[in-house]
Structure formats: C-alpha cells, structure tokens
Amino acid sequence: MSPYHGAQGGVRIRRCSVGLTDNIVVYQGRSDYGEFMNKTLLFAALILLNALGMAIGATETQTQPATGTAAPDFKLTTGDGSQVSLKDYRGKWVVLYFYPKDFTSGCTLEAQNFQRDLAKYQNASAIILGVSVDSAQSHKDFCAKEGLNFKLLADTDAKVSAEYGSTMDYKGAKMAARNTFLINPEGKIAKVYTGVKPAEHSEQVLKDLAELKKS
C-alpha cells in the first residue's frame, strides 16, 4: 500500500511509519511550505521557552542564615518529651544538623557517626542537636534502636527547618534537607554546611570546630 493516503487542495498527506513519528503527518506540495515550517518551529520554540521560564520561576530558592549572624532561636520537643530551645545552650558550641528522616540509611549513618564521636564533642564543650520533621515518638524509637545519646528534635511543621533554609519536597511531603550549622557560644552562625555527605560529615565538623576554637 502506498504511504500516500490522499490529497486535498493540492496538499499531499503522507503518514510516516518510523518509531515515535508514526502518527505525524508531513505536508508537502505547498508553495509556502518553507514559511509554514519556519512558523511552526518558531511557535514550538516559544512554547518551550515559556515552559522553561515557568519551571525556573517555580523553583524554590532557599537562603541559609549567613556566617556571623545570630542563629534563629526555636523551641522544639525532643524524643523524651522535653522542650528544648537553642538559647538553652548559650555558652556552648552547638552542632545543629538537619536531616530528612529517621531510620533511613544515610540519616542512620550520619547519626551513628555523631554518636561515635560524641566524647570528642563533649571534650570540646559542644552539643549535638538533630532536627527532622519526624514525630517525637519516632525520634524516641530511633534513639533507642541506634543507641543515640544526643537529642533529636521534632520539627513536625517544618517551620524551624524553613527558618534555616533547610527544607525540601519529597513526593509531595515537606522534609528537612541535609544541612548543618555550627553555632558558637555567643549564638551566632560560625559555619554552614549544605548538601552534607553523611559518611564523612562528623569528622569534618570536628576538624572545623578545632580550628574555630583556635581563632
């Protein structure tokens, strides 16, 4: 059977039969065919650019508190049911780390490494506080399972995570992004870590903490 299925008004219609173009019709025999195709391609390009612009405009831009500025205070519930505020630890160094979810592999590794190095942090007069959107009960169970002896805080509405520019969307749910803030005894941001790698993070924080305490 011929690939040409008919003609109307001097226009021959051909059905392509290769791959994804099986249902595309190609118009031939028009005196203005070149102009017609140029306009079609221009129109398609405009649609693409508009879609890209909308996507870029919809991208959420987050800004973390800058080094040297006051760390936003908060009051959150811990796994043991008590309330904790950042100002409770004034006079000490604080490692405030945000992480996505209890019991997941990366978050477990990160927590295990902080626990492994806990004595070193204590010797440096530093407190470790972990924050995620999990419930206080989830934190309690996570600490019990992994033997964690530092506090995990329940930021269930993600407000504190947002104040620290550390949120992300995962399958339509708001979660904490894996960022860490080293806060000095005066309550100011001393160092910011974004896109943390769990396996090496605790060692890097301890190294930076030692350098900052010298300065």
Q: Which residues contact 145 (CB under 8 A, 6 or more apart)?
A: 103
Select from 161, 184, 164 the least CA-distant residue to 174. Answer: 161
Q: How crowded is residue 64: how many other Cβ atoms within 10 Å of its Cβ?
A: 17
Are 70 and 187 a contacting pair, CB within 8 Å?
Answer: yes
All domains of the chain, ordered by start, with CATH?
A: 4-58 (no CATH), 75-214 (3.40.30.10)
Per-residue pLDDT tens digits for 35-46: 656 666 666 655
For each of the chain's 215 residues, which pLDDT tens digit applies?
444 444 444 444 444 444 444 443 444 555 665 665 666 666 665 555 444 433 333 335 789 999 999 999 999 999 999 999 999 999 999 999 999 999 999 999 999 999 999 999 999 999 999 999 999 999 999 999 999 999 999 999 999 999 999 999 988 899 999 999 999 999 999 999 999 999 999 999 999 999 999 98
Distance CA 213, CA 158 (A): 31
Distance CA 190, CA 124 (A): 15
pLDDT at 40: 62
Model-wide pTM > 0.85: no
Q: What amino acid positions are annotated as catalytic residues?
A: 107
Per-residue pLDDT tens digits for 97-147: 999 999 999 999 999 999 999 999 999 999 999 999 999 999 999 999 999
3-state secondary structure of 133: coil
